[in-house]
Amino acid sequence: MSINGRVMTTIVKMPQLGESVVEGTVARWLKAPGDRVAKLEPLLEISTDKIDTEVPAPAEGVLLEIIVGEGKTVRAGTPLATIGTPTAANAHSDPQSTDGPTVPSLQSLVSSAPTEKPTGRAFVSPVVGRMVAEHHLDLAQITGTGLGGRVTKKDVLAYLATREQSPNPPIVRLSAHDEVSQSPISNLQSPSLSSGEILHPLTAMRRAIAQHMVQSKQTSPHVTTIMEVDMTAVVLHREAHKTHFAEKGLRLTLTPYFVAATAAGLRQVPLANSRFTEQGLVLNRRIHIGVAVALTDGLIVPVIRDADEKNLQGLARTVTDLADRARRGALTPDEVGGGTFTITNHGTGGSLVGTPIINQPQAGILGLGAIVKRPVIRSGNGASLLPSADDAIVIRPMCYLSFTFDHRILDGAPADAFLMTVKETLEGWSST
């Protein structure tokens, strides 16, 4: 904004993306210094250990300066960039002004300022710089497809892929006495690769998933119990009501049924809704169930808060909304935090039985296998295991439920009691 010929600058700060998110990483700048930006136009991408999100421009103007480069991690509130609107050329600084310098030309603000930032091919992000150093690359040999010919991470990966196919990789001289093949195979700082392998650097999401999974295995003694559930009652109910739900703009999937049954199990066995500390077990009074959603480059777990207080229609609405926004990358960090229990539907890919890893610091995680028709035996003589004339082989939609739990919190009996409640809730679902 400009007032009385003075430049009003707006500082873009690292946003507080959630109650539990205190820092973020600048993943990618979508604008370069000198570019005009509209208010609320996506300005940069931020990556946290929970989610990746776009940060909109807080004001209209010109991106004057990028303060924090790509790949840098800073705390919430840290200045990232400045936006201004230089509109008058050849103006001079006003020493009496408290609003900022008098409007200079765009060239003097962006190209000639002491805080000048390189643009185009001259700008090398920290991510690209690290890859170039690790692989001993010559930046001049890489074609840049970014703004102003800037070399991006994708350009480096494409160059590495092309180079791996070359029978004679170029030699880069490191010093007057040392030569090294410009191949990651000979780079001691990179993994040892064969001629048919290509190194793809970890994304922030993949790195976070890897760290969390290793931490979980190192933290909790994992035990898995498995039960088989007859989904006939649920399938009949869904077939009878999905049209009615669709008239309300709702997509009735099977996930809301599993969430409702899980909530019933957590009410029955509160220990399954707790976490372990050295001072004792902390029981959660509220039931917040996370549902894992697969993405193209990983997965994310949006949380259904107070799941036990919602009916099937409310769960269907929440599940659909969270899953759709998860795939669009439109979730907020608070929507993927604070869960007290997690469900993962590995059956969507055809898996029958899985042993999922606990989402720390929760007590357990429920895995849902694929629902398939199988022959099962139904008997009219009660619980007897003896052959009977009343035995019949019938076809039923069956599903394996696998409950992985923290053995520091739960023993086999309460773990089975939780899973049995889930099973009985699904098998006894009312058709009305």
Domain boundary among 174, 201, 228: 201
**Measured between alpha carbons, how far is 40 from 47 in angstroms, rounded to an integer?**
19
Q: In the predicted model, is pLDDT for residue 301 greater than 60?
A: yes
pLDDT computed for residue 126 by the predictor: 57
pLDDT computed for residue 388 by the predictor: 84
Residues 37 and 62 in one domain: yes
pLDDT computed for residue 192 by the predictor: 83
What is the Cα 403 distance to its own chain's centre? 23
Residues spanned by the domain of 133? 126-201
**Measured between alpha carbons, how far is 332 from 17 in angstroms, rounded to an integer?**
7
**Measured between alpha carbons, how far is 131 from 320 in angstroms, rounded to an integer?**
39
**Measured between alpha carbons, how far is 46 from 26 in angstroms, rounded to an integer?**
5
Q: Please state which of the ranges 168-182, 198-212, 395-409 shows the lowest mean pLDDT.
A: 168-182
Cβ contact 37:43 at 8 Å: yes
Domain boundary among 201, 228, 248: 201
Residue 205 pLDDT grade (very low, low, confident, very high; cuts 50, 70, 90): confident
Cβ contact 305:286 at 8 Å: yes
Residues 156 and 271 in one domain: no
For residues 10-29, average pLDDT = 81
What is the Cα 77 distance to its own chain's centre? 22
Strands 341-344 and 79-84: unpaired
Catalytic residue check, 288 = no
Q: In the predicted model, is pLDDT for residue 6 greater than 80?
A: no
Residues 173 and 307 in one domain: no
Q: How far is CA 411 from CA 149, 217, 301, 320, in A?
A: 60, 18, 26, 34
Residue 179 pLDDT grade (very low, low, confident, very high; cuts 50, 70, 90): very low
pLDDT computed for residue 19 by the predictor: 60
Average pLDDT of the residues of the chain: 82
Q: Please tell me which residue in 94, 346, 411, 416 is annotated as part of the active site.
A: 411
Catalytic residue check, 411 = yes
Residue 148 pLDDT grade (very low, low, confident, very high; cuts 50, 70, 90): low
Q: With respect to residue 432, please indicate whether it lies within any of the assigned structural domains.
A: no
**Measured between alpha carbons, how far is 119 from 320 in angstroms, rounded to an integer?**
42
Q: Please state which of the ranges 46-60, 245-259, 273-287, 346-360 shows the lowest mean pLDDT.
A: 46-60
Greater pLDDT, 262 or 94 = 262
**Tens-digit pLDDT profile for residues 244-298:** 999 999 999 999 999 999 999 999 999 999 999 999 999 999 999 999 998 887 8
The residues facing 181 across adjacent strands are 171
Q: In the predicted model, is pLDDT for residue 21 greater than 70?
A: no
Domain boundary among 62, 86, 117: 117
Residues 148 and 110 in one domain: no
Q: In the predicted model, is pLDDT for residue 399 greater than 70?
A: yes
Residues 252 and 147 in one domain: no
pLDDT computed for residue 202 by the predictor: 79
pLDDT computed for residue 403 by the predictor: 98
pLDDT computed for residue 314 by the predictor: 96
What one-letter code names the amino acid at 203? T
10 Å CB burial of residue 325 (0-12, 13-18, 19+) is middle
Residues 308 and 395 in one domain: yes
pLDDT computed for residue 153 by the predictor: 73
For residues 360-379, average pLDDT = 95
Contacts of 330 (CB under 8 A, 6+ apart): none
Residues 349 and 421 in one domain: yes
Residues 194 and 218 in one domain: no
Question: What total of structural domains would you count in the chain?
Answer: 3
Residues 361 and 250 in one domain: yes
pLDDT-above-90 percentage for the chain = 49
Q: In the predicted model, is pLDDT for residue 232 greater than 60?
A: yes
For residues 92-102, average pLDDT = 41
Q: With respect to residue 21, please indicate whether it lies within any of the assigned structural domains.
A: yes
The residues facing 223 across adjacent strands are 405
Nearest to 103 by CA among 238, 2, 225: 2
Residues 131 and 92 in one domain: no
Residues 190 and 221 in one domain: no
Strands 23-29 and 10-13: unpaired
Residue 404 DSSP SS3: strand
The CATH number of whichever domain residue 286 belongs to comes to: 3.30.559.10
Residue by residue, DSSP assigns 69-132 as -TT-EEETT-EEEEEE----TT----TT-SS-SB---HIIIIISSTT----GGG---HHHHHHH
The CATH number of whichever domain residue 84 belongs to comes to: 2.40.50.100
Q: With respect to residue 370, please indicate whether it lies within any of the assigned structural domains.
A: yes
Q: In the predicted model, is pLDDT for residue 200 greater than 80?
A: yes
Q: Please tell me which residue in 92, 306, 324, 407 is annotated as part of the active site.
A: 407
Residues 252 and 174 in one domain: no
What is the Cα 8 distance to its own chain's centre? 36
pLDDT computed for residue 395 by the predictor: 97
**Measured between alpha carbons, how far is 37 from 57 in angstroms, rounded to an integer?**
7
